Amino acid sequence: MGVIVNQVFGHELRRLRTQQGVSLKALSEMTHYSKGYLSRVETGARAATPELAARCDDVLGAGGALRARLAELRVVIEPRVNDPRFADLPLGRAGEPPDHGRPAQLPMAEPDFVGRLEALRELDRLPAPHRVTVCAISGMAGTGKTALAVHWAHRARAHFPDGSLFAELAGPDGTVLAPSQVLAAFLGALRPAAPLPATLAERAALFRTLLDGRRMLVVLDHAVSAEQVRPLLPAAPGCLVLVTSRQRLTGLTAAHQLPLSTLTPAEAGELAGTVIGPARTELEPYAVRELVECCGLLPLAVRLAATQLAARPSWLISSLTERLRQDGELLLRLGGGALPNAFRPDYQGLSRSAADAFRRIAPLPGPLLSAAQAAEVLGRGGAEAEAALEELVDASLLETPAPGLYRCHPLLRAYARTLTQRLECGLLAAESRYELAAPALPVAL
């Protein structure tokens, strides 16, 4: 196998192994390959065999990704690397005429992606050659839906030889794209310069026609409803659609539902460590644990806090955690108010009744709330209160660990408190589900 292919595979094997905290010695013991051989495979000095890739897949829980990657590298890259005609051309686009019919629209994967092994395994089981697969990843703002979808999409590329389409169905400010706009972009990528049909139905039909007989991955990021997604679904067996949404898209009845929760403490600590740097996190392991706890294990919050520390190299990690403990709203001010900016469209999309329930219920003390307690606090009948609570669950503003029981993420509680404060200051209209004004929160610590 070409040296470059060996190096690419070796690099990916090492990244997966270290990501999972497995030493070379442990990998050697688990796979029964010698440590020296594995080390040479990782540096690219030796070629990996499919058997070695499969063994490493098993022990690292990679769900066949390494083996698929090795096969992909051999099929796609090796012939080009070994062909003198392609010698001067960059890998990946070697000598091919630009083929706009094979889109590759995935954005860059997070280089420091951590954990999520169970979700990745679940996704690995999805591709099926004889049917279209739709998977809806749901979860609260900032929980890592897009990061997971893009990370998995990159590692599953070998399953989709006809390429990938990616569209953001709603902007961070809540602007929503109509399905016909998304189809226009997809059709443009598949058939550049061809005329665009006028109606949504015609565009959707042409999209399905163009994907017929192809195995393509379609990532629909930040969907707001099942209705928005439905016209964007291909019908060709072998295609896979990954949808991310803060909403539970229960209307997509045939979809595999993958609800995504926050990170585990170990994963969140690893994420903080990659951003802050090992020199500091190894000095203060307890402070890292406290830091990620203050962030409620929410990846977006962990990244914000860790980025703040990375930008302040002289600070102790514990000095930030202390301030976070003292000031429950400090995290909401970090990164120019990235957290409230992420939460706001979800709150604003609620019915008046659910928005009112959110402001009043979310800040209540205690880990769990029952529907009956909520009804009492809200002064509403049981059924009415439960309908509001379920709307909050569908919008990922509440979780329901069991029927009739609810809990709220600590950062959403803090956000709800700020809404109430602003309501009391007259900055939020009580009767409207929309905020009247969104004054910039002070960014300074």
Burial of 279 (0-12, 13-18, 19+ CB in 10 A): exposed
Residues 257-276: x where in contact with ligand ATP by CB under 6 A, - otherwise, as a string: --------------x-----
Q: Given the complex with Mg ion, which of 141 and 355 has the nearer CB atom?
A: 141
CA 161 vs CA 18, 102, 133, 268: distances in Å: 29, 9, 16, 34
Look at residue 144 and give the partner it binds from Mg ion, ligand ATP, none, a contact being a CB closer than 5 to 8 Å depending on partner kind: ligand ATP
Which one of 68, 342, 398, 411 is in contact with ligand ATP (CB under 6 A)?
342
Backbone φ/ψ region at 174: left (φ over 0), alpha (ψ -120 to 50), beta: left
The label of the residue with tokens 């329901």 reads 400
Q: How far apart are alpha carbons 160 and 245 in whole angstroms?
A: 23
Taking the complex as a whole, the smallest distance from the CB of residue 167 to Mg ion amounts, in Å, to 12
Query: Contact at 8 Å (CB) between 252 and 230?
Result: yes
145 binds ligand ATP per the rule CB under 6 A: yes
Which one of 114, 132, 255, 388 is in contact with ligand ATP (CB under 6 A)?
114
Taking the complex as a whole, the smallest distance from the CB of residue 340 to Mg ion amounts, in Å, to 16
Q: In what order do the strands lie in the sheet with 405-407?
A: 369-370, 405-407, 399-402
113 binds ligand ATP per the rule CB under 6 A: yes
Burial of 426 (0-12, 13-18, 19+ CB in 10 A): exposed
Q: Taken in order 414, 420, 422, 427, is the CA torsion positive or negative? A: positive
247 binds ligand ATP per the rule CB under 6 A: no
Which one of 6, 31, 133, 143 is in contact with ligand ATP (CB under 6 A)?
143
Considering only 61-69, 140-148, 203-211, 403-411, which stretch makes contact with ligand ATP by CB under 6 A? 140-148
The two tokens of residue 392 are: 């909050």
118 binds ligand ATP per the rule CB under 6 A: no
Number of residues that bind ligand ATP (CB under 6 A): 22
Considering only 33-41, 299-307, 365-373, 432-440, which stretch makes contact with ligand ATP by CB under 6 A? 299-307
The two tokens of residue 183 are: 């189809």
Q: Which residue number places its CB atom closest to Mg ion? A: 146
Taking the complex as a whole, the smallest distance from the CB of residue 175 to ligand ATP amounts, in Å, to 13
Taking the complex as a whole, the smallest distance from the CB of residue 144 to ligand ATP amounts, in Å, to 3
110 binds ligand ATP per the rule CB under 6 A: yes
Q: How far apart are alpha carbons 144 and 137 in whole angstroms?
A: 10
Taking the complex as a whole, the smallest distance from the CB of residue 112 to ligand ATP amounts, in Å, to 6
Contact positions toward Mg ion, by CB under 5 A? Answer: 145-146
The label of the residue with tokens 């393509």 reads 216
Task: Kindly give, in sequence order, each residue whose CB lies less than 8 Å from that of residue 189, ignoring residues fewer than 6 positions away.
Answer: 100, 103, 105, 165
69 binds ligand ATP per the rule CB under 6 A: no
The two tokens of residue 273 are: 């460590």
Q: Given the complex with ligand ATP, which of 142 and 234 has the nearer CB atom?
A: 142
Look at residue 138 and give the partner it binds from ligand ATP, Mg ion, none, a contact being a CB closer than 5 to 8 Å depending on partner kind: none
139 binds ligand ATP per the rule CB under 6 A: yes
Q: Given the complex with ligand ATP, which of 10 and 345 has the nearer CB atom?
A: 345
Q: Given the complex with Mg ion, which of 146 and 418 has the nearer CB atom?
A: 146
Residues 227-246: x where in contact with ligand ATP by CB under 6 A, - otherwise, as a string: -----------------x-x
Tell me whether strands 405-407 and 399-402 are parallel, antiparallel or unpaired: antiparallel
Q: How far apart are alpha carbons 162 and 226 in whole angstroms?
A: 25
Taking the complex as a whole, the smallest distance from the CB of residue 187 to Mg ion amounts, in Å, to 24
Query: Contact at 8 Å (CB) between 229 and 223?
Result: yes
Considering only 227-235, 298-306, 360-368, 428-436, which stretch makes contact with ligand ATP by CB under 6 A? 298-306
Q: How far apart are alpha carbons 261 and 258 in whole angstroms?
A: 10
Look at residue 281 and give the partner it binds from ligand ATP, Mg ion, none, a contact being a CB closer than 5 to 8 Å depending on partner kind: none
Phi, psi dihedrals of residue 271, rounded to the nearest 5°: -60, -45
116 binds ligand ATP per the rule CB under 6 A: yes
Look at residue 159 and give the partner it binds from Mg ion, ligand ATP, none, a contact being a CB closer than 5 to 8 Å depending on partner kind: none
Alpha helices for 73-126 (secondary structure H): 78-82, 117-124
Query: Contact at 8 Å (CB) between 258 and 136?
Result: yes
Taking the complex as a whole, the smallest distance from the CB of residue 302 to ligand ATP amounts, in Å, to 7
Length of the chain equals: 445
Interface positions with ligand ATP (CB under 6 A): 110, 112-116, 139, 141-147, 222, 244, 246, 271, 299-300, 303, 342
